[in-house]
């Protein structure tokens, strides 16, 4: 019992420190932003789960999109539109972002947040199962996209990644969030479909010659997790 309590206290203290560092860097590097703050407040008021990216992660997405020179972005998993706003702000004047969301309530909240942020003419929120939406995008001839952000149900991540490859071009950047799962990524015996999903993703990446990929572990206000970056290097 004492060993368990010691581990729990250490874990709690680590998360408290990670959050404090996040708060410190966010306060210095990201001035108050009414649109983003309103998006978080509206999402909380609507009862959406607090599983979106942190402010520092959101800004990282924006910087990566800017570095990639992305003018066409596809996001899989909208939630309340917080990450969508960050990504859309990286677009040039003629850029477009399509974001896919399966939950009607989440999509409704996201649309309101996106419009409030002044991005209603830039962002299209598509409601429905992501697999069906991806098939529809392909049938419509939409794409290729310059950047993909995949932050949806983890059990389906390998399938979403395969669709991203189909809708990409050489030089496209694919970002997959929440792939470390508190370190459970390495648990081959896990029966959690989310863990199995991110493990299969890495197996696909290991065999996929069209991308060059790496996975980065992160700590912060969202706890211990990480993301995968995959650059499409061949068509």
- Angle at CA of residue 198, ends 17 and 207, nearest 5°: 125
Domain presence at residue 7:
no
What would the pLDDT profile of 93-122 be if each residue is shown by its tens digit?
999 999 999 999 999 999 999 999 999 999
- The predicted pLDDT at position 1 comes to 44
The predicted model gives 68-93 an average pLDDT of 98
Per-residue model confidence as pLDDT tens digits over 162-176: 999 999 999 999 999
- pLDDT above 90 for 186: yes
Residue 19 lies in a domain: no
Q: What percent of the chain has pLDDT above 70?
A: 95
Is 18 part of a structural domain of the chain? Answer: no
In a domain, 16, yes or no: no
- pLDDT score recorded for residue 5: 55
Domain assignment present for residue 27? The answer is no
pLDDT at 164: 98
* CATH code: domain of residue 116: 3.40.50.150
**With 60 as the cut, is the pLDDT of residue 138 above it?**
yes
Please report whether residue 161 resides in a domain: yes
Q: How many domains does the chain have?
A: 1
- Containing domain of residue 122, as a range? 33-232
37 within domain boundaries: yes
pLDDT band at 11 (very low <50, low <70, confident <90, very high): confident
* Band of residue 8 on the pLDDT scale cut at 50, 70, 90: low
**Whole-model pTM above 0.85?**
yes
* pLDDT above 60 (res 208): yes
Predicted local confidence at residue 13, as pLDDT: 74
The reply to whether 79 falls in a domain is yes
């Amino acid at each position: 019992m004492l060993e368990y309590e010691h581990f729990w206290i250490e874990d709690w203290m680590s998360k408290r420190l990670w959050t404090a560092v996040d708060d410190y860097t966010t306060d210095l590097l990201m001035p108050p932003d009414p649109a983003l703050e309103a998006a978080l407040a509206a999402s909380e008021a609507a009862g959406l789960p607090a599983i979106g990216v942190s402010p520092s992660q959101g800004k990282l997405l924006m910087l990566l999109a800017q570095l990639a020179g992305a003018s066409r972005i596809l996001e899989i998993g909208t939630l309340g539109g917080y990450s969508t706003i960050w990504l859309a702000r990286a677009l040039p004047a003629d850029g477009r972002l399509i974001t896919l969301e399966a939950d009607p309530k989440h999509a409704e909240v996201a649309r309101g947040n996106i419009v409030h942020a002044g991005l209603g003419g830039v962002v299209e929120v598509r409601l429905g199962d992501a697999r069906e939406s991806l098939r529809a995008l392909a049938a419509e001839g939409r794409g290729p996209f310059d950047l993909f952000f995949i932050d949806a149900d983890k059990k389906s991540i390998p399938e979403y990644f395969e669709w991203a490859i189909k809708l990409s071009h050489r030089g496209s950047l694919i970002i997959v969030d929440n792939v470390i799962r508190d370190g459970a990524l390495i648990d081959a015996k896990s029966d959690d479909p989310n863990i199995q999903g991110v493990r299969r993703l890495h197996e696909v990446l290991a065999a996929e010659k069209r991308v060059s990929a790496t996975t980065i572990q992160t700590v912060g206000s969202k706890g211990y997790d990480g993301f995968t970056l995959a650059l499409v290097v061949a068509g």
